[in-house]
Amino acid sequence: MIELKQIFMSNIPAAVAVIGLVGYFFGMAIVFIAKPLKNAESFSIKPVDNAGKTEIRVYYGGISFALGAFLLYLTLALKTPVYSLAGGLFFSTTVFVTRSIFLCVDKGWKCPYTKLAIPAEGLFVIALWTCFVLSKKLY
């Protein structure tokens, strides 16, 4: 437990970001594994059969869990949260930029989910980049 505290105290901005990322990914995993249809529908996703339901659990739930677990593992294995933050930045920035581009291409900006996702993801990406910059300047 002391070593875990030391790892997270080694770079507080990066640690805060990694805790946020891991919490987000684990939360998404629980939500999509427990109630895939209900939650997928709020993302404008509808499976055509039961295999689609499984795919929602696997890709939204399973991969979210794997990403969170990998970021936590990376932090513990390398004894610093900085690299996990960098990985989270690659992922979240790519998702945000891709979503922004294809909202224009697909004309999906009027969808209710989009009206929530763009500002929420945008703020999340800004917060992660802020943590990244602070982690480099302060440590």
Q: What is the pTM of this model?
A: 0.90
Segments making up each domain of the chain, as ranges? 2-138
Reduced to 3 states (helix: H, G, I; strand: E, B; else coil), residue 25 is helix
With cut-offs at 50, 70 and 90, classify the pLDDT of residue 94: very high
With cut-offs at 50, 70 and 90, classify the pLDDT of residue 27: very high
With cut-offs at 50, 70 and 90, classify the pLDDT of residue 112: confident
DSSP track, 95-127: HHHHHHHHHHHHT-TTSHHHHHHHHHHHHHHHH
Counting every residue written for the chain, the total comes to 139
Distance of CA 98 to the CA centre of its chain: 14
pLDDT at 1 > cutoff 80: no
